[in-house]
């Protein structure tokens, strides 16, 4: 029995016959000395009773969003802040759909919307409902928002069908939760700085030069480090992404701003990762007023921007373990290795962006190079790829120490 002693777990139960299994899951949590609060939806109350769940969890069961007694003690905001993790088992197709669009029309959905803690879903539904495009799109959207899925399993269902959609067994849900929570703090001794997203180089007050970087990879890396307890500073160009939980974010716009913030920040960290797509050049003279369309041609003089990752890599004092990214359209390995040496990096992460298939996408693949070796991280979601990359970075960082 892995130990979750002292962990504060909100267990949400939605409507479905699999709700009876959740009683055993709560028993496992309590046996591991976790503190459990149960939130029961109206539909779930048709399958399991609040009295049973109160007896198993050792705490009152929360059911109503508008319960005045709950608001005085452990209301939806209090529960959302209190939880180390929220586990919804079973997670019905209806609840998954409501969570995807951000509804807050009952206590459980409101807690999920108000929390900064990780959310785990154990889907349970008829196999045809699970296979529906709408359900799969909802699940994929939630995964992109860093909601964790546990299962479902395949097999015989209460309705008589056979297929995917059975809720994972209580022990499987428990083990998955233990695996995640047990590593949350293993990197608490590390300070990590990461750059992400594009930069914008102004032409005049309304125009700028930029690139297609979405920032998703850098944000995923920041989240992966933060989930394991590292102190993370994320230096971000202009992106439309939410800040990962437990990450300090510094917003910048231009390459020069990112360079200034990075050099000040990098020396205060153990690891620096330059994932941003920094503009190589900026406009020499930014117009004070909007440039009017006067002719068929316009010439803009560009000057070179600072090479942020190279400047960090060549720091003489307090140099962090330095990881760079190389987005290439050809000769990926040769160009990456050249940058590794020329910029004095510990690791370089190369990806092939020919055709623009990486920028803005939710998946990626990386080739890693360091002085004595290399590794390939195959195509995967950027969230999962970031976790694999963090493992490799920490491995090489520890070797160097």
User: How far is the C-alpha of 268 from the C-alpha of 333, rounded, in Å?
Assistant: 31
User: How far is the C-alpha of 125 from the C-alpha of 94, rounded, in Å?
Assistant: 10
Query: Does 95 carry a binding-site annotation?
Result: no
For 14, what's the count of Cα atoms within 13 Å in the CB-facing half-sphere? 23
The CB density around residue 202, as the number of other CB atoms within 10 Å, is 15
Query: Does 280 carry a binding-site annotation?
Result: yes
User: How far is the C-alpha of 183 from the C-alpha of 185, rounded, in Å?
Assistant: 5
**∠ at Cα 196 (120, 251), nearest 5°?**
100
Query: Does 387 carry a binding-site annotation?
Result: no
Handedness of CA 210, 213, 216, 222 (dihedral sign): negative
User: How far is the C-alpha of 178 from the C-alpha of 192, rounded, in Å?
Assistant: 25
Query: Does 382 carry a binding-site annotation?
Result: no
Which residues have CB under 8 Å from 312's CB, separation 6+? 262, 263, 266, 272, 274, 319, 320, 322
312-334 in b/e form (b: 16+ CB < 10 A) is: bbeeeeeebbbbbbbbbeeebee
Identify whether the C-beta of residue 88 lies closer than 8 Å to the C-beta of residue 131: no
Residues marked active site are found at 159
Query: Does 325 carry a binding-site annotation?
Result: yes
Query: Does 250 carry a binding-site annotation?
Result: no
Query: Does 275 carry a binding-site annotation?
Result: yes
Identify whether the C-beta of residue 48 lies closer than 8 Å to the C-beta of residue 76: no
Query: Does 324 carry a binding-site annotation?
Result: no
Query: Does 339 carry a binding-site annotation?
Result: yes
Q: What is the CA radius of gyration of the chain?
A: 24
Q: In what order do the strands lie in the sheet with 363-370?
A: 247-251, 231-236, 191-196, 271-274, 321-328, 347-352, 363-370, 373-381
Query: Does 96 carry a binding-site annotation?
Result: no
Positions at the binding site for CTP = 274-276, 280, 290, 306-309, 325, 339, 343
Positions at the binding site = 274-276, 280, 290, 306-309, 325, 339, 343
């Amino acid at each position: 029995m892995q130990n979750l002693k002292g962990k504060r777990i909100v267990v949400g139960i939605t409507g479905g016959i699999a709700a009876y299994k959740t009683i055993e899951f709560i028993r496992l949590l309590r046996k591991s000395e976790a503190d459990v609060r149960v939130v029961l939806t109206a539909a779930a109350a048709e399958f399991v009773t609040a009295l049973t769940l109160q007896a198993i969890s050792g705490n009152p069961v929360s059911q109503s969003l508008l319960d005045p007694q709950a608001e005085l003690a452990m209301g939806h905001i209090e529960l959302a802040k209190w939880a180390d993790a929220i586990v919804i088992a079973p997670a019905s197709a209806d609840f998954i759909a409501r969570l995807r669009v951000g509804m807050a029309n009952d206590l459980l959905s409101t807690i999920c919307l108000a929390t900064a803690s990780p959310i785990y879903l154990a889907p349970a539904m008829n196999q045809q409902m699970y296979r529906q495009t709408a359900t799969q799109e909802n699940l994929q959207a939630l995964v992109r928002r860093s909601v964790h899925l546990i299962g479902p399993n395949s097999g015989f269902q209460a309705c008589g069908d056979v297929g995917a959609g059975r809720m994972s067994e209580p022990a499987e849900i428990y083990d998955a939760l233990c695996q995640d929570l047990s590593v949350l703090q293993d990197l608490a001794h590390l300070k990590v700085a990461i750059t992400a997203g594009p930069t914008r180089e102004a032409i005049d007050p309304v125009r700028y030069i930029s690139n297609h970087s979405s920032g998703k990879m850098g944000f995923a890396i920041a989240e992966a480090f933060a989930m394991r307890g590292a102190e993370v500073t994320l230096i971000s160009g202009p992106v439309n992404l939410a800040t990962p939980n437990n990450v300090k974010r510094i917003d910048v716009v231009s390459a020069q701003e990112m360079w200034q913030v990075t050099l000040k920040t990098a020396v205060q960290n153990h690891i620096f990762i330059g994932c941003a797509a920094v503009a190589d050049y900026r406009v020499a003279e930014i117009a004070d007023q909007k440039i009017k369309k006067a002719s068929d041609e316009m010439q803009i003089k560009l000057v070179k921007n600072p090479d942020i990752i190279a400047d960090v890599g060549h720091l003489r004092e307090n140099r962090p373990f330095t990881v760079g990214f190389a987005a290439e359209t050809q000769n990926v390995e040769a160009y990456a290795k050249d940058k590794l040496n020329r910029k004095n990096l510990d690791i370089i992460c190369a990806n092939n962006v020919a055709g623009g298939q990486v920028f803005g996408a939710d998946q990626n693949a990386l080739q890693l190079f360091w002085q004595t070796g290399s590794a390939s991280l195959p195509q995967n979601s950027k969230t999962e790829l970031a976790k694999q990359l963090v493992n490799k970075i920490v491995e090489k960082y520890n070797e160097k120490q």
